[in-house]
Amino acid sequence: MTESGDVGWSAARAHAARNRDRLLQSAAEVFARDGVNASLRDVARRAGVGIGTLYRRFESREAVLAALLADSFASLNALGAELESRDDATGSLIEWLSALTDEMRAFPGVPDLVVRAMVDDDSRLHELCRNMARTGGALLARAQSSGGIRSDLTIADLLRVSAAIATIEEQGAERRKSDESTASPTASRMLDIVLDGLRPRSP
Amino acid sequence: MTESGDVGWSAARAHAARNRDRLLQSAAEVFARDGVNASLRDVARRAGVGIGTLYRRFESREAVLAALLADSFASLNALGAELESRDDATGSLIEWLSALTDEMRAFPGVPDLVVRAMVDDDSRLHELCRNMARTGGALLARAQSSGGIRSDLTIADLLRVSAAIATIEEQGAERRKSDESTASPTASRMLDIVLDGLRPRSP
DNA sequence: ACCTGAACACCGTTCAAGT
DNA sequence: ACCTGAACACCGTTCAAGT
């Protein structure tokens, strides 16, 4: 099949790129269904490629996830930059935390992953998470100096809270067999309740 | 080896009981290290029995966990009963939620497990969790009628919050590689902060 | 009655062999 | 250069064979 020189090369490269796209598409579907620890063999199967191809395109499960989540994180950084120029510092922070919580619901297991990656230098998601944290940190500092948010909180605290809420809502979104008294709360209600606790109290 | 009649039987029964104890001991160690989804083969190996014996003594992973967590849940119910007779209704609820959060930190993954079991009729932990929720529900109702807790909250909300905090602290308790700005908050601080949000606000 | 371990159908990950 | 699938070392779970 070897066509001479560049033609063969670029055909192979195009094919490789298509495989990468298919793998990402497939991974998005499988992770959405089975969570971030879903079977990578499943991902490869559904993409119609061999398992070896997956490992050739992505050095690890986290590399796949990093590729899938990169856009989310970029949009959070963009939103943060935009919110910096708003008057309401506290409202800005809360809006950003809401957006973060939403993004973390991409796949089951993402919140956990993000919290761990924040603290693990070796994670493929480490830098992505750290950048995102920097964006949030700026918003937090502004909200704190405006007096709208307790001054003893750190951005690490808030990311953990956000992750916790995202985990809760992720589970609440699943099919429930008995739905009487344990019906899941509205998506944003839990976050609202918890964020209430972040304001300074004047008793 | 077959000794005649009852003697052989009771020896076998005693042996079986000892195996069960060893398995539980081993499971406690392995789950503490690797979380609730740890290898059951590992559990059997460390207990010095065949994998078949584990499955003979416990019909499922959840059955092992139910056996390990039964005491915790019982003590929460006892604590609840005791707190019912205290004057400070809100303080009682908060103390109980603190205790619950602590118990959920038994092994990594327990909070998630409890939240799921609460909603899954088929789980071996379902009844255990439901009873515990009933205990908390009574404390919540009392705190709400005393005016100390927002009236729109349900016990399901609070258990989810507790699970979320327990998850956070469980992760915070792990060895961190970089510990600068992401240092984990003190054990109870997150819970305190969040519980602040549960009080009615008077602006 | 109880215990064991082989057996089955899956994983994640690597790497020789093919094109 | 890229792709494939066998190979290895693991799982969870079941069940025939042993005592």
Q: Is the pLDDT of residue B66 over 60?
A: yes
Over chain A, what HEC string results? CCCCCHHHHHHHHHHHHHHHHHHHHHHHHHHHHHCCCCCHHHHHHHHCCCHHHHHHHCCCHHHHHHHHHHHHHHHHHHHHHHHCCCCCHHHHHHHHHHHHHHHHCCCCCHHHHHHHHHHCCCCCCHHHHHHHHHHHHHHHHHHHHCCCCCCCCCHHHHHHHHHHHHHHHHHHCCCCCCCCCCCCCCCCHHHHHHHHCCCCCCC
Tally A–B CB contacts below 8 A. Answer: 107
pLDDT one-digit tens code per residue, B37-54? 999 999 999 999 999 999
What is the rounded average pLDDT for all residues in chain B?
86
Q: Which residues of A touch B174 (CB under 8 A)?
A: 119
CB of B87 within 8 Å of a chain A CB? The answer is no
Q: Which nucleotides of chain D does any protein CB come within 7 A of?
A: 1-7, 10-16, 19
Comparing A150 with B11, the larger pLDDT belongs to: A150
pLDDT band at residue B27, thresholds of 50, 70 and 90?
very high
CB of A165 within 8 Å of a chain B CB? The answer is yes
Q: What is the pTM of this model?
A: 0.86
Helical H segments across chain B, by residue range: 6-34, 40-47, 51-57, 61-83, 89-104, 110-117, 126-145, 155-172, 189-196
How would you write the pLDDT of chain A (203 residues) with one tens digit per residue?
Answer: 434 445 556 777 888 999 999 999 999 999 999 999 999 999 999 999 999 999 999 999 999 999 999 999 999 999 999 999 999 999 999 999 999 999 999 999 999 899 999 999 999 999 999 999 999 999 999 999 999 998 988 999 899 889 888 887 765 444 334 444 444 444 567 787 788 777 776 54
Calculate the angstrom distance between C1' of C17 and CA of A50: 15
pLDDT for residue B13: 84
